[in-house]
């Protein structure tokens, strides 16, 4: 039953996110908000909504390991698996701003979890305290200012969509329906993940960094692979990096403010792997004149993640 519930939860989570995005974009267009702003905020937020809602539910219910590993696992899957797969379809060209700012910022986000979680700065308690959460949220505000700056300069990696206005009543209904789907799906996933951890005889962290993280990364997977297939490199890369930054600064920030997230045994290793993904991405696209993530890079990313997954299984 738990397997069926977790699958149903992912269906509700993904469907709820899509309905929420449709309603929110339609409502924003109704009030003449520019397509660029909608893409940079509403759509970007929408792809991170599954992680956010799952984490909020996990934090409220005290499933702290799932709250942290969902984000770290999602970021690792985003970089190693999704970008790896996307690069197999089409070489992904990175903009200079992506190499200079967004990839380093994604690396900084992972390193922030590593350092804050160790208790070396801000709070002596190992794990993420409320103070750490406020720091991450402050970083998120800075990131929002940065993407608006890029938007004004016309350099933000946002797909040129024509967001059509929607009637207010219908848009509100979509938003409420999407939020309901997200909430119900997240509740089903968290409870089923805890039950699976018990039945498998493993920690919640193992289920969170694998099963839950993969499920909440489905919107990013669909968006980036489709963008790569359409040869829209900026969208494929920008979607992943934006999601990784949103996940740490917004999702983990909100989660830690709701309830401090204590240390778990593999926190340092999971954060280090997430950081390694950003570092490898920086090396792959930063070295050389082409600034491209090619098929060879994609295969290497997939191999590294396979090794990481094998290590997780071996240490059960």
Report the pLDDT value the prediction gives residue 3, as an integer from 0 to 100. Answer: 80
Please, which residues have CB within 8 angstroms of residue 186's CB and are 6 or more apart in sequence? 9, 13, 50, 53, 54, 56, 57
Whether 146 shows a pLDDT value over 80: the answer reads: yes
Whether 289 shows a pLDDT value over 80: the answer reads: no
Report which of residues 144 and 222 the model is more confident about.
144
Whether 37 shows a pLDDT value over 70: the answer reads: no
Whether 188 shows a pLDDT value over 70: the answer reads: yes
Domain that holds residue 183: 2-158+167-314
The CATH number of residue 46's host domain is 1.20.1420.30
- Indicate the pLDDT class of residue 270, thresholds 50, 70 and 90: very high
Q: Each residue of 78-91: pLDDT tens digit?
A: 999 999 988 888 88
Report the pLDDT value the prediction gives residue 240, as an integer from 0 to 100. Answer: 85
Report the pLDDT value the prediction gives residue 79, as an integer from 0 to 100. Answer: 94
- Report the alpha-carbon angle 30-36-41, nearest 5: 80
- Indicate the pLDDT class of residue 18, thresholds 50, 70 and 90: confident
What integer is the mean pLDDT of 155-166?
A: 66
- Indicate the pLDDT class of residue 52, thresholds 50, 70 and 90: confident
What is the spatial distance between Cα 154 and Cα 151, in angstroms, rounded to a whole number?
5
Whether 44 shows a pLDDT value over 70: the answer reads: no
Report the pLDDT value the prediction gives residue 112, as an integer from 0 to 100. Answer: 93
What is the spatial distance between Cα 52 and Cα 34, in angstroms, rounded to a whole number?
25
What integer is the mean pLDDT of 164-188?
A: 85
**Residue by residue, what is the 3-state secondary structure of the chain?**
CHHHHHHHHHHHHHHHHHHHHHHHHHHHHHCCCCHHHHHHHHHHHHHHHHHHHHHHHHHHCCCHHHHHHHHHHHHHHHHHHHHHHHHHHCCEECCHHHHHHHHHHHHHHHHHHHHHHHCCCCCCCCEECHHHHHHHHHHHHHHHHHHHHHHHHCCCCCCCCCCCCCCHHHHHHHHHHHHHHHHHHHHHHHHHHHHHHHHHCCCHHHHHHHHHHHHHCHHHHHHHHHHHHCCCHHHHHHHHHHHHHHHHHHHHHHHHHHCCEECCCCHHHHHHHHHHHHHHHHHHHHCCCCCEECHHHHHHHHHHHHHHHHHHHHCC
Q: Which of 274, 258, 284, 219 is nearest to 67 (CA)?
A: 258
Say how many domains are in the chain: 1
Q: Is 96 exposed, middle or buried (0-12, 13-18, 19+ CB in 10 A)?
A: exposed
Average pLDDT, the chain: 83
Whether 228 shows a pLDDT value over 70: the answer reads: yes
pTM above 0.85, yes or no: no
Report the pLDDT value the prediction gives residue 43, as an integer from 0 to 100. Answer: 65
Whether 279 shows a pLDDT value over 90: the answer reads: yes
């Amino acid at each position: 039953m738990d397997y069926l519930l977790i699958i149903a939860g992912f269906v509700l989570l993904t469907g709820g996110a899509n309905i929420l995005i449709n309603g929110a974009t339609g409502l924003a267009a109704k009030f003449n908000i520019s397509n660029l702003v909608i893409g940079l905020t509403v759509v970007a937020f929408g792809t991170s909504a599954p992680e956010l809602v799952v984490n909020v539910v996990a934090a409220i219910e005290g499933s702290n390991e799932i709250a942290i590993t969902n984000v770290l696992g999602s970021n690792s899957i985003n970089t190693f698996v999704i970008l790896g797969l996307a690069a197999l379809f089409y070489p992904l060209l990175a903009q200079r701003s992506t190499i200079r700012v967004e990839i380093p910022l994604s690396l900084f986000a992972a390193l922030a979890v590593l350092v804050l979680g160790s208790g070396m700065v801000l709070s002596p308690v190992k794990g993420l305290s409320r103070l750490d959460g406020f720091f991450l949220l402050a970083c998120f505000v800075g990131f929002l200012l940065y993407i608006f700056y890029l938007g004004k300069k016309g350099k933000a990696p946002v797909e040129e969509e024509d967001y059509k206005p929607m009637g207010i009543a219908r848009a509100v209904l979509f938003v409420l329906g999407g939020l309901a789907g997200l909430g119900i799906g997240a509740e089903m996933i968290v409870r089923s993940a805890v039950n699976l951890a018990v039945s498998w005889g493993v920690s919640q962290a193992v289920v969170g960094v694998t099963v839950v993280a993969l499920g909440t990364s489905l919107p990013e997977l669909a968006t980036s692979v489709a963008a790569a297939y359409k040869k829209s490199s900026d969208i494929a890369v920008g979607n992943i990096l934006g999601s990784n930054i949103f996940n740490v600064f917004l999702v983990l920030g909100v989660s830690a403010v709701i309830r401090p997230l204590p240390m778990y045994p593999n926190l340092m290793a999971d954060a280090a792997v997430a950081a390694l993904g950003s570092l490898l991405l920086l090396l792959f696209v930063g070295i050389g004149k082409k600034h491209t993530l090619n098929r060879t890079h994609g295969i290497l990313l997939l191999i590294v993640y396979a090794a990481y997954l094998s290590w997780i299984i071996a240490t059960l």
